[in-house]
């Protein structure tokens, strides 16, 4: 999505350790009008899928997912990061290894809100090694729901997540794929995606 790439070029900054900071418009301060256009683009890209629910993970995925949901006219469920154990069997849970934060955490969703009736689109802000998305896919599998696709705002194309998901045959759409970034020069390059606006 050219508009998102241009915004990343304009307002994104590259930090040591291959971290792209986009907190002025994506995951701290949020440009909701941009989110609206991103949501419309997700809707166009997943137009053929019978999606009835969007699944994301707290915290930064929630804003993007909620605005996208207005284009899909479906509810959003977010997985909670928690220390609480699944004591009463009322939740689905999985583990996520965060590469960026160098820790493992549990994610949970109530069984009430993810069931075998659901056809799910996963939405998140970043795709790096794919651990968060794989954890969400675990929850979908445990619920007996159907994964219709994964929509990501920014994929770091030089990390392994995108390739993993595409190799699994998952319909993955990343609105911007960063192929390289350089903290010294601030230069960011993007992968061409002719089917996107």
Q: Contact residues for ligand G4P (CB under 6 A)?
A: 19-22, 27, 57, 59-61, 98-101, 125-132, 156, 161
Q: Which is nearer to ligand G4P, 25 or 46 (CB)?
A: 25
State the nearest-atom distance from the C-beta of 150 to ligand G4P, in Å.
11
End-to-end CA distance of the chain: 5
Q: Which is nearer to ligand G4P, 17 or 89 (CB)?
A: 17
∠ CA 166-156-158, nearest 5°, is 80
166's tokens:
């595409």
Q: Which is nearer to ligand G4P, 34 or 57 (CB)?
A: 57
State the nearest-atom distance from the C-beta of 191 to ligand G4P, in Å.
16
- For the beta sheet containing 76-82, the strands, ordered from the edge strand earlier in sequence to the opposite edge, are 91-98, 103-110, 76-82, 53-57, 119-127, 146-156, 172-181, 188-190
Q: Which is nearer to ligand G4P, 11 or 52 (CB)?
A: 11
State the nearest-atom distance from the C-beta of 156 to ligand G4P, in Å.
6
């Amino acid at each position: 999505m050219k508009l998102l790439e241009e915004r990343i070029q304009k307002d994104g900054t590259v930090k040591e350790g291959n971290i792209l900071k986009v907190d002025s418009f994506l995951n701290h301060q949020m440009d909701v009008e941009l989110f609206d256009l991103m949501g419309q683009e997700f809707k166009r890209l997943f137009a053929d899928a019978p999606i009835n629910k969007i699944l994301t993970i707290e915290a930064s995925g929630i804003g993007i997912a909620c605005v996208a949901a207005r284009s899909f006219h479906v509810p959003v469920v977010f997985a909670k990061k928690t220390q609480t154990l699944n004591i009463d069997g009322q939740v689905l849970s999985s583990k996520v290894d965060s590469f960026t934060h160098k820790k493992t955490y549990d994610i949970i969703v109530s069984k009430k809100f993810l069931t075998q009736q659901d056809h799910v689109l996963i939405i998140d802000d970043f795709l790096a090694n794919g651990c968060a998305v794989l954890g969400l896919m675990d929850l979908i599998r445990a619920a007996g729901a159907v994964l219709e696709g994964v929509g990501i705002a920014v994929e770091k194309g030089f990390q392994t997540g995108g390739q993993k998901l595409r190799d699994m045959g998952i319909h993955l759409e990343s609105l911007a794929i960063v192929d390289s970034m350089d903290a010294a020069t601030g230069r960011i390059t993007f992968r061409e995606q002719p089917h996107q606006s």
